Structure 1
């Protein structure tokens, strides 16, 4: 779906122009948490006259739900989102990822690894993303054949950046993560490599996404530097969690967005994002609400936290706890 509506019309990408994106994975239906991310990224782009790209991150077939990609697209259309250009599908970009890995491999940045998850776990090194890889295969002459993963060598130094909402972030990849996977042993591309190459190809200047990806960002910045790619500006939003502190997701049984409640749900996520709705909100059409939201988008009003607790009741809907 190309963006044709008057309020979202933009020209071609120009130097210094804002280019944002929303990149859902088709592991289930869109829910209120994913709607919050979509709304924030969309408003941040449109309020600055920028472009907004839709990318479907369908690189993990074992986790994908049949038909979810098209249902995600239909839901976004129903809510009034308009994206620029055609939908980008990661499953069509395997050659790009292979070229990226080939560059890293030939220049000594990547190496094959035959370690199982069990062996990594048994090493007992905790990191920011589960068990930290201890580098078993880093200096071994592992034959690059068979069912092997490929890992990126990381330096023992801090990778720091300033998040637009969460402030200064810093992570020592060697101490807190270890060499991380670029290509899994089952042949699936890892998120870190794919997202870096996809963002660069689309000219993404600003990334707006959930705080659950804060710990992934230093890996991506490190990869960008090695590959000679630009680093976007990052803003990590508070994620919506249930009363138990669990992020709303398919795994925590977050209900799919219901048809017919678009204005109500859009209004709710705007409240979660700290945007003060006008007194005449109940009388506004969906189109009028979008127009108001774009004109009044204020980043400084977004809560500077990593999570917002919400509760859902079938009859009354969502409320902030």
Structure 2
């Protein structure tokens, strides 16, 4: 299969390297400055998976059709990044791996029913153009057809409940490609489930680590913020439930309690590095908006969002929009 990756950060490079090693043709769509420094091969640094290199060509603009277009930029950069995809480069499938809830509508307007909404769990950080440090042994993608009018489901697709029709066929083909490349793939019945199941974990972590300016261990050492973290997780589950997406709050809290203290988030790293705009608005505003619509109280999320916003305003260094390129449970 021919894959193009729009956003050659940590996630894009990790996915591209894995697919390349499995025999797929990979094209990285990069900004001019990054392409000029790209050595022509993706270099993966990993103590757990082993260091290796993978073939991938780079272009400034995608002009030719591909089987799959992976969109791995961060939400604030989405509109500008899409300008690097020519109208004639019509992919069979478009797979966004962004955080938040609002980006599927943007991509649906551009690509119609070719979108397969995704979320990824991986710890991967770009350290130079074409170079990624892959910090986790695991990598898992959740995928669902973009069916905005379908009622959300409650869990993974199994057996005969798998999506049918052209979207289901494309999802099945892509799931097989990911599995062959060593990346787990969990098909889901609907996009809302994919997005919310990641966001209920990511949002509290991202807000709390940014508010205290430190990793999860620093959050746990601050009793007030630690309590807000747990309450924000419960509130996020309540908003998801109001959106007809069931999340196991008890399991989510257990995950938060057992994550290692070194766990950090890309929002915190970006805010500290002066990246503007950060993902703060893309993560929080859709949840706060839906909470208001459903009359679900979310005081802990709102308080953590204010703390993260204060931290963002206090950050002294302002840099052009770029990314620390780490996504997944710690992004």
Q: Same fold (TM over 0.5)?
A: no
Normalised to the residue count of structure 2, the TM-score between the two structures is 0.30
Which structure would you say has the larger Rg?
Answer: 1
More helix by share: 2
